Chains A and B, each alone.
Chain A
C-alpha cells in the first residue's frame, strides 16, 4: 500500500497550489459576505448564502425525539414520580446518576429518592435512563441543550430539586418559552 502520495513538479513548486486554495476559500468568503450583506438589506432573499445557521438568533426546529436536558416528572400532587429503583443508574453507561433511596413513613409507594443527582459532565445524553425507567419518572423532552459553562464542577451536577423544577417550568411555560429563556442566558454570558 502506498501511504504517501507522490507529488509532481507542479505540487512541489508549492506556491501555485497555495494560491489555488486561497482563491477557492477567498471566493466563497467574498461571495457569502456579499450575499449576507444583501440579505441584511432585505435584498436577494432567494439567493442562498452559506448553510450556516446563525445560532442563537435563528435555529432549526428540533425533532420531538431530541434528547435534551433531563427532568424528573411529577405526580398529580406534585411529588416526585421516581421510586428510586436504580434502573436508570444501572442502565447508565456513563455512571453519572447518583441516587440515595429513602422510605416514606406513610405512603403506599414506600420508596422515594432522598437524593437524585446527574453529573452532566459525565452524562453522554444517550437516553438509556429514560428507556430503563419503569415509572416514566425521567424524561429528556425539555428540548434544552446541555449546560456548557460553569465556574466549578458542582455547577454541572443537577440535583433532584432542579430536575423536578424543570418539570414545573415546562408545565408552566411550555417548551418554546423555556428554550427562549435558556438561550437568553447564553447571550448574556
Chain B
C-alpha cells in the first residue's frame, strides 16, 4: 500500500496506490455523480456520469475506472465536466418516461437528483420515445420497468459477483437494449431484493413496498435487523406508526451494503399482529383483562410459589431486557433454569452469504447477560417437556407455533402450576397462561443486540408502542420492585451502564461508543 498524493478540486488528498479517482474523492468527502459505479461491485464504466477532467489528459476520464497517480490534478466541477455531465444526463433522459408521479423511486432517484443539480431544462427531444416493458415481474419481490432502466447493469453485476446466481442479463442493442431474465429463470434468490436498493433509478422496485407510501413521508430510524444473529444494520422506514420497509444500512464489519430477503420482510410477521393492550389474568372460564398492578402481583406470587422455575426469553429481546430478566428470575428462585430461544435450520450456499442458521438475533447477548443454563436450549426444552418444572415465565416467543414439538409442549405447559407469558400479542402459548403481560416488539424498543460475532449494536425505537403495553425492561423492573428490590432505571441506557459495570466483556462500552456502527468488545472475559 504505497501512499500517494493528488489534488481533487484544488484540495490535496492523500490515498494509496491502486485506488480509483472516485474512491479517493469519496474518502475526501467529494461526491462525484455516478450511476453504474458501486463500491462493492465490479467496475462497468458504462453510465459515463462520473467524467472528470484530469490535468495533462486530453479527454475527460471516468473517475470510477481511472487509477490515482502521484501528483494527479483532478477537476470535478470544471465547465468542461459540467457540460459533459449535462450531455450524459440528456442522453439518459431521452427515452426515460415521465413516470415520477407513479414511480416508487421518486424522492430518492439519482436521475431526479442529478437533473436538479445539472440540467434543469426542458427536453429537446421531439421524436417518439422508445417504449419498453412496463411492470415485468422478475421474481417474488422484484418488478421491472424497462422504460425507466438506464442499463447501468448494477443488478446484473450484483447477481454475478455477490450472489453468483446470474438470473439477469442485458439483451438487444442500441435503444432496444434492456435487462431481462434468462429463459426459465426467476429472480428468487435469497438476496434478490437487494437489486432494488442498488438500482439508481426506478427500474427495479420492491413488490412489497410498491405504492405503499412515498419515500419522503418515511420516518427513518437506524436499527438492527431482527431476522437472525448476523445483526445486519438496517434503516426502518415507518409511516403512520407502521413499518413500511427495511433498507440495508452500510456497515462493512457486518453486512456491507446488503440484507437478505427474509430479514427484509420479517417485520410483517413480527409487527402486523393484533396487539394486546392490557394485561390478562386467568379466571374461571378464561383470560380476562386486568390492570398492571394486579397482573404483576399475581405473576410475582405465582412464580414465587412455582419452583422449580423455568424462564425463557426471546432472542429478539435486548441485552438490557435479558439482563433484568436474569436478575428478576434469580431473585425469585436462585435455581431458576433460564434459557434464550435458539433453533437452527439448514441454509443454502447463497443464504450463507449473510444469514445465520438461527432466528434469534440476540441469543449471544442474552447468554452473556446470564440467561444461560447447562446444556443449552434443547436440553432446557427437554426438561420442560418431561415436566421437570412447576412454574414458567415465557417472554416474547410463541413456543407452541415456533417449534415442531408443539403438541408435547402444549401438554407440558398445561401441566404447569403457574405460567406467565409476556408477548406483544395473544399467541397460542399465551392462551395457556395464567397471566399474560402485553409487551413491545423489536421496532418499539431501544437497546442493544450482540450478534453472533459478539459485536454490540444499537436498536432504536421506530414505532410508538400501543397504549396499555409496557416495554419488556419496564415490566421486569416493576416486578423486581414488587419483590422488594430497589430498582431505579428509567431508560435502557441506564441499564446498559450497569451491564458495562458488571459484565466484564462489556466493560467500557456505552451507547455513545456503540454509535450507529456498533462496537466489538474484546473477547477476554
| B partners with A | yes
Does residue A85 face the partner (Cβ distance < 8 Å to B)? Answer: yes
Encode B342-386 as 1/0 by CB contact (under 8 A) with A.
Answer: 000000000000000000000000000000000000000000000
| The one of B100, B211, B216 that contacts A102, using a Cβ cutoff of 8 Å | B211
Taking CB atoms, residues of chain B closer than 8 Å to A111 are 101-102, 211
Taking CB atoms, residues of chain A closer than 8 Å to B214 are 85-86, 90
Encode A76-87 as 1/0 by CB contact (under 8 A) with B.
Answer: 000000011111
Taking CB atoms, residues of chain A closer than 8 Å to B101 are 83, 85, 87, 111, 134-135
In the bound complex, what is the Cα–Cα distance between A135 and B135 (angstroms)? 21
Contact between B211 and A103, CB atoms less than 8 A apart = yes
Minimum Cβ distance to chain A for residue B195 (Å): 20
- Docked complex: A126-184 residues within 8 A CB-CB of B: 134-135
Minimum Cβ distance to chain A for residue B106 (Å): 8
Minimum Cβ distance to chain B for residue A113 (Å): 10
* Residue of chain A at shortest CB distance from B211: A101
* Residue of chain B at shortest CB distance from A103: B211
Once A84-B211, A85-B101, A111-B102 are accepted as A-B contacts, the answer to whether A90 and B216 lie under 8 Å apart by CB is yes
Does residue B388 face the partner (Cβ distance < 8 Å to A)? Answer: no
Contact between A103 and B210, CB atoms less than 8 A apart = yes
Does residue B212 face the partner (Cβ distance < 8 Å to A)? Answer: yes
In the bound complex, what is the Cα–Cα distance between A135 and B99 (angstroms)? 11
In the bound complex, what is the Cα–Cα distance between A109 and B217 (angstroms)? 22
Does residue B134 face the partner (Cβ distance < 8 Å to A)? Answer: yes
Chain A residues bordering chain B, tally (CB within 8 A) = 15
Taking CB atoms, residues of chain A closer than 8 Å to B212 are 101
Contact between B134 and A83, CB atoms less than 8 A apart = no
Once A101-B211, A102-B211, A103-B210 are accepted as A-B contacts, the answer to whether A110 and B102 lie under 8 Å apart by CB is yes
In the bound complex, what is the Cα–Cα distance between A102 and B210 (angstroms)? 9
Residue in B102, B210, B216 whose Cβ sees the most chain A Cβ within 10 Å? B102
Contact between A83 and B102, CB atoms less than 8 A apart = yes
Taking CB atoms, residues of chain B closer than 8 Å to A134 are 100-101
In the bound complex, what is the Cα–Cα distance between A111 and B101 (angstroms)? 9
Residue in B101, B134, B135 whose Cβ sees the most chain A Cβ within 10 Å? B101
Encode B188-228 as 1/0 by CB contact (under 8 A) with A.
Answer: 00000000000000000000001110101100000000000
* Residue of chain A at shortest CB distance from B98: A134
Encode B101-143 as 1/0 by CB contact (under 8 A) with A.
Answer: 1100010000000000000000000000000001100000000
Classify the secondary structure of A's interface with B: loop
Minimum Cβ distance to chain B for residue A138 (Å): 13
Encode B389-432 as 1/0 by CB contact (under 8 A) with A.
Answer: 00000000000000000000000000000000000000000000
Minimum Cβ distance to chain B for residue A73 (Å): 15
Residue in A84, A85, A108, A135 whose Cβ sees the most chain B Cβ within 10 Å? A85
In the bound complex, what is the Cα–Cα distance between A87 and B216 (angstroms)? 11
In the bound complex, what is the Cα–Cα distance between A11 and B251 (angstroms)? 80
Taking CB atoms, residues of chain A closer than 8 Å to B210 are 103
Contact between B134 and A110, CB atoms less than 8 A apart = yes
Taking CB atoms, residues of chain A closer than 8 Å to B134 are 108, 110
In the bound complex, what is the Cα–Cα distance between A134 and B135 (angstroms)? 22
* Residue of chain A at shortest CB distance from B214: A86
In the bound complex, what is the Cα–Cα distance between A20 and B210 (angstroms)? 72
Minimum Cβ distance to chain A for residue B198 (Å): 23
Contact between A110 and B216, CB atoms less than 8 A apart = no
Taking CB atoms, residues of chain A closer than 8 Å to B217 are 86, 90
Taking CB atoms, residues of chain B closer than 8 Å to A135 are 101
Taking CB atoms, residues of chain B closer than 8 Å to A84 are 102, 211
Taking CB atoms, residues of chain B closer than 8 Å to A85 are 100-102, 106, 214
Minimum Cβ distance to chain A for residue B218 (Å): 12
In the bound complex, what is the Cα–Cα distance between A110 and B99 (angstroms)? 10
* Residue of chain A at shortest CB distance from B207: A103
Taking CB atoms, residues of chain B closer than 8 Å to A103 are 210-211
In the bound complex, what is the Cα–Cα distance between A25 and B102 (angstroms)? 61
In the bound complex, what is the Cα–Cα distance between A104 and B214 (angstroms)? 18
Taking CB atoms, residues of chain A closer than 8 Å to B102 are 83-85, 109-111
* Residue of chain B at shortest CB distance from A82: B101
Which residues of A pack against B, CB within 8 Å?
83-87, 90, 101-103, 108-111, 134-135
For the complex of A and B, the 4 pairs showing the least CB-CB separation, nearest first, are A85-B101, A111-B102, A101-B211, A86-B214
Known: A87-B101, A90-B214. 19 other contacts (CB 8 A): A83-B101, A83-B102, A84-B102, A85-B101, A85-B106, A85-B214, A86-B214, A90-B216, A90-B217, A101-B211, A102-B211, A103-B210, A103-B211, A110-B102, A110-B134, A110-B135, A111-B101, A111-B102, A134-B101
Which residues of B pack against A, CB within 8 Å?
100-102, 106, 134-135, 210-212, 214, 216-217
Please, could you name 21 A-B residue pairs with CB atoms under 8 Å apart, sorted by A? Answer: A83-B101, A83-B102, A84-B102, A85-B101, A85-B106, A85-B214, A86-B214, A86-B217, A90-B216, A90-B217, A101-B211, A101-B212, A102-B211, A103-B210, A103-B211, A108-B134, A110-B102, A110-B134, A111-B211, A134-B100, A135-B101
